[in-house]
Structure 1
Amino acid sequence: MTVRVPARVAAALTRFCGPDWVADLPRRAAERLDAWGLAPAGDPLHGAVSLVLPVTTADGRPAMLKIQPVDAETRGEPDALRAWDGDGCVRLLDHDPGSGDLLLEALDPGRDLDSTIDAHGIDRALETIAGLLTTLNARPGPPGLRRLGPMTERLVARARRLRAAADPPGDLDAALDRWAGVAAAVAPEAGDRLLHWDLHYQNVLAPLPGTGRGPWLAIDPKPLAGDPGYELLPALWNRFPSGPGAERLLRRRFDLLTEATGADRERARAWTLVRVLENTVWSLEEGDTARPAQMLALARALGS
């Protein structure tokens, strides 16, 4: 069976996955369709690092075939989806350990939580995110999942090396030092809850009509085991506010999320600053000068 990857999808995936991986996608997709008895049922979709094909299973059910590179972030996705078993998230139907390919229940890709914000306001979206996080974080991380504690210790070391090598501007240099100190302090007690890691508004989809699922379900986790306070940054950072009231709006988002999830405010603040540090280190390593300014604004909103 021939599977064509649209040029726009190939271009988007090449940035993160490389041209060789993208060039091999038609073969991989055709092989998996044949192995699982699937029939294509729509135009290919994509995430930042995945090709998603709408399909119909051999017994006539709609589903989604997800093909992505297997790395430290994606390796635990099938284990996390099995642990959640559809409670608050998309349901895993099948998984090929050799390739990492996933067969997922079909949700509605045209109805994500982000599309509701203009009509209903961001507070309602934040309440939905908080409800999903409360459900998803209720379980312990499965054995073998990456752990937040060691990740944080490595992040502190990277931040300190970066400060020594890159000589960032004074305000950012001082902030990196503060945030690394916070990260070093909380790393020894990093928790064991099953975390999604990337629950922003576009990673929440509505179910298909008539399935009795939802009303909203999380997709595309990059799971790890750790403290639920580490989960809040995507909903704070996405739809980043601008203007003179930006820090006040960010603080309001944080207050709403911590209240709705029942999180310990100071612990959630500390772990959010760890995420701020993580985003800043990535950005500086990649030469991105825009994101650190947003991270500084977010940290100021949190009092750091």
Structure 2
Amino acid sequence: MTVELPGVFVRTVSRYVPDHGPDGQDGAGGRTAYRPDGETWLARLPGLIDTSLGRWRLRQDPDQPVRWGSTALVVPVLRPHGDPGMLKLGWPHPESDLEHLALRAWRGRGAVRLLAAEPADGALLLERLDATRDLTVGPVAGTCEALGTLLGRLDRPGAPWAAPLSDHLRRLTGRIAVATADPAAAHQFPRRLLLHAASLVEDLLQDGGLDERLVHTDLHQANVLWRTDPGEWVAIDPKVESADPHWAVAPALWNRWGDALAAPDLGSHLLLRLDLVCGAAGLDRDRARAMSVLRLVDNALGALRERHEGTGDEVTRAVAVIKAMQRG
């Protein structure tokens, strides 16, 4: 069976280059984090689809459109007895390596249910959710509270196969030091924000307790869909670390950015989001502010390192969120 690949998806993935893990490190769990370039993987994708359909005796659902994200194709399928499902095939990269393990750990509680997996092919068979209903629309209060509730539902002990946040922060310390010592960096990102971030990292590493929980680090408004039975929001597309749940608050701040810019006071709007998420999740507001600052600094330095088309906008957004968190 031939599944037509969406043109936007092909154009996006074809730009990806082979790479290794963060800062040249191995991937989570000690595995080699090598990933093929996008064009090589796209050439393999039709065969991976056919293999997956045959392995699980699936057929493409002709009444539902193929969906995609920045790194994965999701094909609506019908299982052997006609039950609906979603076949997800992702471009191999370190963040996706652990998705099947995380979904197994959650067992459908607060997250999309995993029906089957073939990690070697990057293939997942998932339950069918309502792909037309997410948290990218609706009042800020309700959507942020839903995200906070999900943070609580997803809480699990940290796992040995998930990379520890403490290692992530130590790498960030090195990147901050390099940027702080570079005179040219002052024209790209405020030095005072780098110094503030360096102090926050040092304090958090001294406090410890950073690696104790399994955390969906990319839990934001577009990564939540509606499960019609019994009627509840659940998370999709997990990117996980053994971390601190406060590390997961920041994506709720930098997503739905148009809504933030439309608010009468950007800083107050972002602090309201923070308060709503933390309140629903039972998290400490100050710790969430500190970790959100670090995530935005991490994002900005990553964007400046990669120099992609949206680098300027990403750095501007990061600075705006950091300043809002400092107001709190």
Cα separation, 2, equivalents of 1:269 and 1:186:
12
The answer to whether the 8 Å contact 2:144/2:276 transfers is: yes
Residue-by-residue CA offset, 1:29-70 (whole Å, 9 max, x unaligned): 111111111101133211111011111111221111111133
Q: Report what 1:174 is aligned to.
A: 192
1:34 paired residue among 27, 39, 54: 54
Partner SS, residue 93 of structure 2:
coil
Q: Report what 1:299 is aligned to.
A: 322
**Equivalent AA in structure 2 for residue 242 of structure 1:** L
Cα separation, 1, equivalents of 2:291 and 2:221:
20
Offset at 1:232?
Answer: 0.6
Cα separation, 1, equivalents of 2:131 and 2:77:
13
**Equivalent AA in structure 2 for residue 3 of structure 1:** V
**Equivalent AA in structure 2 for residue 49 of structure 1:** T
TM-score by length of structure 2 reads: 0.85
1:141 paired residue among 142, 154, 158: 158
Correspondence 1:62-73 to 2 at 5 A: 62-73=84-95
Q: Report what 1:221 is aligned to.
A: 238
The answer to whether the 8 Å contact 1:9/1:45 transfers is: no
Structure 2 residue 300 is matched with structure 1 residue 283: no
Count of residue pairs brought into register by the alignment: 296
Cα separation, 2, equivalents of 1:56 and 1:285:
43
Give the unaligned 5+ runs of structure 1: none
The answer to whether the 8 Å contact 2:97/2:119 transfers is: no
Structure 2 residue 66 is matched with structure 1 residue 49: no
Structure 2 residue 167 is matched with structure 1 residue 150: yes
Q: What fraction of aligned residue pairs are identical, expressed as a percent?
A: 36
Correspondence 1:107-122 to 2 at 5 A: 107-115=129-137, 117=138, 121-122=139-140
Query: Could you list the runs of 4 or more consecutive aligned residues of structure 1 that deviate by over 6 angstroms after TM superposition?
Result: none
TM-score by length of structure 1 reads: 0.91
Offset at 1:260?
Answer: 1.9
Cα separation, 1, equivalents of 2:91 and 2:201:
29
Cα separation, 1, equivalents of 2:317 and 2:175:
20
Residue-by-residue CA offset, 1:81-109 (whole Å, 9 max, x unaligned): 11110001100000113222111101111
Offset at 1:170?
Answer: 7.9
Partner SS, residue 167 of structure 2:
helix
Q: Report what 2:13 is aligned to.
A: 13
The answer to whether the 8 Å contact 1:153/1:184 transfers is: no
Offset at 1:258?
Answer: 1.7
Structure 2 residue 204 is matched with structure 1 residue 186: yes
Q: Report what 2:273 is aligned to.
A: 253
RMSD: 1.8
Cα separation, 2, equivalents of 1:236 and 1:260:
15
The answer to whether the 8 Å contact 2:158/2:211 transfers is: no
Q: 1:302 to 1:23 in 2, by over 3 A?
A: same
